[in-house]
């Protein structure tokens, strides 16, 4: 295990070459344009080049190049966790570092506040940062003996849930070919350690340190007191088989941003992707600091 100093020294020092920054943003935040003006000013001062997504480009003073994931050193996301998740999907497996600036309410995955963004960009360019490499889930849908029909990635979670009328759904969960059991309930969350603090947590799942090599299987409103979340190794192959009677709509949601339907006689298979998503972090803020600050972990000060 390298020392903290060795780790920091191993990071790229982008000041040796002009930093190439791709920017994604959520245009619904009123402060976005002012923050972008500050980023442009810092980029001019340090000789950095900017690329931008379609929501951001019209707000920049100089028309930028469209983001090319192969031609950037840093992806900057301006919004909340949803914007960062969109950025991770844009990279399509390229391990370009992502720095998220939080304009939203919680922003658990993001790195800095808009007020601290200029200093954070300088810190990244000068190598005063670390990279937290996060596992990515791949979920594929196919018939019982047929080829894969769709495969999508998720940094947080893949969620099986019903649409339309409220009705209990039944499915069998298998891990590495072994039957775990049958679940009746509202659905199922399969989460990465990064996603343990998202939907899985709301459904009663555990908090998992995000760099752990693991996956979480959390039932949603299981119709049994004996069904509880399960944590498996990151090398596991998870298979979910819906059971009759099927609801009219059985949906799969990937990070809450992409959806596909799971039809009768189809199965879901989930495993870890061979790549990681790299989130920029600064050493003064730890994962447990985030738990206390963002989720009020262990905080009873507001109670009588």
Q: Could you list the active site residues?
A: 81
DSSP state letter for 93 = T
How many CB atoms neighbour CB 144 within 10 A?
Answer: 8
- CB-neighbour burial class of residue 274 (10 A; exposed 0-12, middle 13-18, buried 19+): exposed
- CB-neighbour burial class of residue 138 (10 A; exposed 0-12, middle 13-18, buried 19+): middle
How many CB atoms neighbour CB 79 within 10 A?
Answer: 25
Query: C-alpha dihedral over 104, 108, 110, 116, to 10 degrees?
Result: 70
Closest-CA residue to 173 (of 253, 228, 250): 228
- CB-neighbour burial class of residue 264 (10 A; exposed 0-12, middle 13-18, buried 19+): exposed
How many CB atoms neighbour CB 229 within 10 A?
Answer: 17
């Amino acid at each position: 295990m390298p020392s903290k100093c060795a780790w920091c020294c191993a990071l790229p020092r982008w000041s040796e070459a002009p930093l190439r920054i791709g920017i994604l943003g959520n245009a619904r935040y009123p402060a976005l344009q002012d923050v972008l003006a500050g980023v442009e000013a810092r980029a001019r001062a340090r000789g950095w080049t900017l690329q931008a997504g379609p929501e951001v480009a019209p707000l920049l003073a100089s028309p930028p190049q469209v983001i090319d994931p192969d031609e950037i050193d840093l992806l900057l996301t301006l919004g909340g966790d949803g914007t960062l998740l969109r950025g991770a999907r844009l990279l399509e497996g390229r391990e370009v570092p992502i720095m998220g600036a939080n304009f939203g309410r919680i922003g658990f995955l993001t790195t800095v506040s808009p007020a601290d963004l200029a200093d954070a960009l300088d810190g990244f360019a000068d190598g005063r940062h670390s990279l937290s490499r996060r596992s990515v889930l791949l979920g594929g849908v196919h018939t019982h003996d047929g080829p894969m029909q769709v495969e999508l990635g998720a940094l947080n979670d893949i969620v099986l849930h019903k649409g339309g009328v409220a009705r209990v759904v039944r499915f069998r969960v298998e891990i590495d070919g072994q039957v775990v059991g049958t679940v009746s309930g509202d659905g199922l969350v399969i989460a990465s350690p990064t996603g343990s603090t998202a939907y899985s947590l709301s459904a009663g799942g555990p908090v998992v340190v995000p760099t752990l090599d693991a996956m979480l299987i959390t039932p949603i409103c299981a119709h049994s007191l004996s069904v509880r979340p399960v944590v498996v190794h990151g090398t596991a192959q998870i298979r979910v088989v819906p059971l009759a009677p099927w609801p009219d709509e059985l949906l799969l949601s990937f990070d809450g941003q992409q959806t596909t339907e799971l039809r009768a006689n189809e199965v879901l298979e989930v495993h870890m992707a061979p790549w990681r998503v790299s989130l920029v972090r600064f050493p003064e803020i730890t994962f447990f600091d985030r738990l206390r600050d963002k989720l009020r972990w262990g905080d009873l000060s507001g109670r009588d």
